[in-house]
Amino acid sequence: MGAQTVEAVVARHKGAPVGLERIIVPDPGPGEARVRVRACGVCHTDLHYREGAINDDYPFLLGHEAAGTVESVGEGVTGLAPGDYVVLAWRAPCGTCRACRRGMAWYCFDSRNAAQPMTLEDGTPLAPALGIGAFTPLTLVAAGQCVPVDPAARPEAAGLIGCGVMAGFGAAVNTGRVTRGETVAVIGCGGVGNAAIAGAAIAGARKIIAVDVDERKLTWARHFGATDTVDARSADPVQAVRDLTDGFGADVIIEAVGRPETYRQAFDARDLAGRLVLVGVPDPTMTVELPLAEVFGRGGHLSSSWYGDCLPSRDFPILIDLYRRGRLDLDAFVTETVGISDVEEAFARMRRGDVLRSVVVL
C-alpha cells in the first residue's frame, strides 16, 4: 500500500495549544500493524503530554484510548489480520522479560511498540502518546498492542477500555481484589474513579462510597454503583467513610486523584489491614509523609495500580463482554463526541470537570 499521509493532532511545544498537522504513516514492518482509528477518547494523559509533564520529546502525536480496524500487518504477525476490530493497548507484554517469566506480565519491562516512527511531512519523527498516537485516522503500532474484541461494541465506548476504564476497573478488581461483601471507598470520581466504582459493584462490594468535591461527579458515581456519596467540600472524608462503615473504615480504598492530601485521607480511612490502591497519577514533584508506626500497626497493603494491573489480551474482551451483557455501562462514560479539530476545546472541558470523557470520532 505504501506510506500514507493523514491529518493528526500534534503538540509541538510545551503548554502550547495543539494543532492539526499532516503526518506520514509508514507501511507496517515486521511485528507491526497499521490501524484505521474509529474513535479515541480524550484522556488526561494526553493533556499531560501537551503540558510536558511526561517528558519533553516534542513533537507529540496525541491520542491513545482508541478502537479501530486493522488495515494491514507486517511480516511475521500471527493471530491478527486485516479487518479485525481491535482496542489498542499501551502495554504489550513481551513474554520473555523477568516480570513476564514470573507470571506478572502487567509489569513487563520490555513492552512492545512500533519500531518505525511516524513523522511530520518534513521527516521530523513524532513521539506517539503512550506508544500509540491515535488522534488521527491511521496509526502504526506493534501488533501486540492490538486486542481483538467483539465488533458489535460501538467504538466510542470500546476505545475507553484502552486506558481510563481499564485503569479504574482493574484498580478495584485486579489490584484491590475487591470481593463479595467488602466495603470500598473511591476518592476522586472522574472517569478512572467511576470505572473503579463500576468494578467494585460488579465484584460484589456491599457498600461503595464515592468521595469528590464536585456534585456532578457524585451523581455520575451513583449511576455506576456507588451506594453512598461524600461531598468533601462540606464533610471530612475520613470521618464520613468511618461513619458509613460502622466506625471501622473501608476494606479497600482506591485513590484516583494522585495528590498527597487525598492519599493521606485514603490511608487514614482504611480499616485495620485494609488495602489502599493508588491509581491517580501524581506529579513527579509530589511527596507524601506517613507516620511509620501506623504503616506498621495498621497492616494491610499499600499499592499502586499500573494500567489496572491488566493483561489486555485477557481483560479487554472480558470488559467488552460485560458491556454487551449490560453489566458495564461504557456508554455512560461518553459525555460527548467531537471531531478531530476539537481536541483543544475538549481539554478545556476536561479541566473544568464538565465531562467524564469526550471522544473523538474519526
- Parent domain of 352: 4-162+329-361
In this model, does residue 260 exceed pLDDT 90? yes
Task: Kindly calculate the radius of gyration of the chain based on its CA atoms and give it in whole angstroms.
Answer: 20
Tell me what the mean pLDDT of segment 154-161 comes to: 98
Q: Would you report the helix, strand and coil content of the chain in percent, each value rounded to 5?
A: 35, 25, 40
Residues 180 and 158 in one domain: no
Task: Answer yes or no: is 318 within a domain.
Answer: no
3-state secondary structure of 147: strand
Task: Answer yes or no: is 314 within a domain.
Answer: no
3-state secondary structure of 92: coil
On whether the CB atoms of residues 156 and 361 are closer than 8 A, the answer is: yes
Facing residues of 61 across strands? 10, 128
Domain final residue pick, 291, 306, 321:
306
Residues 157 and 242 in one domain: no
Terminal-to-terminal C-alpha distance of the chain: 21
Torsional sign, CA 49, 198, 345, 134: positive
In this model, does residue 325 exceed pLDDT 80? yes
pTM over 0.85: yes
In this model, does residue 267 exceed pLDDT 90? yes
The three-point CA angle 176-190-11 to 5° equals 110
Burial 353-362 (b: 16+ CB within 10 A, else e): eebbbbbbeb
Residues 239 and 291 in one domain: yes
Return the DSSP state at 125: B
Between 10 and 105, the more confident residue is 10
In this model, does residue 268 exceed pLDDT 80? yes
Tell me the pLDDT tens digit for each residue of 203-259.
Answer: 999 999 999 999 999 999 999 999 999 999 999 999 999 999 999 999 999 999 999
Whole-number pLDDT of residue 283: 85
Q: Rounded CA gap, 144 and 113, in Å?
A: 8
Cell 494491573, residue located: 309
Task: Answer yes or no: is 315 within a domain.
Answer: no
**Amino acid letter, residue 263:** Y
Cell 449490560, residue located: 326
Q: Which helix (H) or strand (E) holds 11?
A: strand 4-11
The grid cell for 51 is 503540558
In this model, does residue 1 exceed pLDDT 80? no
The three-point CA angle 34-39-45 to 5° equals 90
Whole-number pLDDT of residue 284: 84
Residues 186 and 147 in one domain: no
pLDDT band at 53 (very low <50, low <70, confident <90, very high): confident
Residues 187 and 93 in one domain: no
Residues 157 and 185 in one domain: no
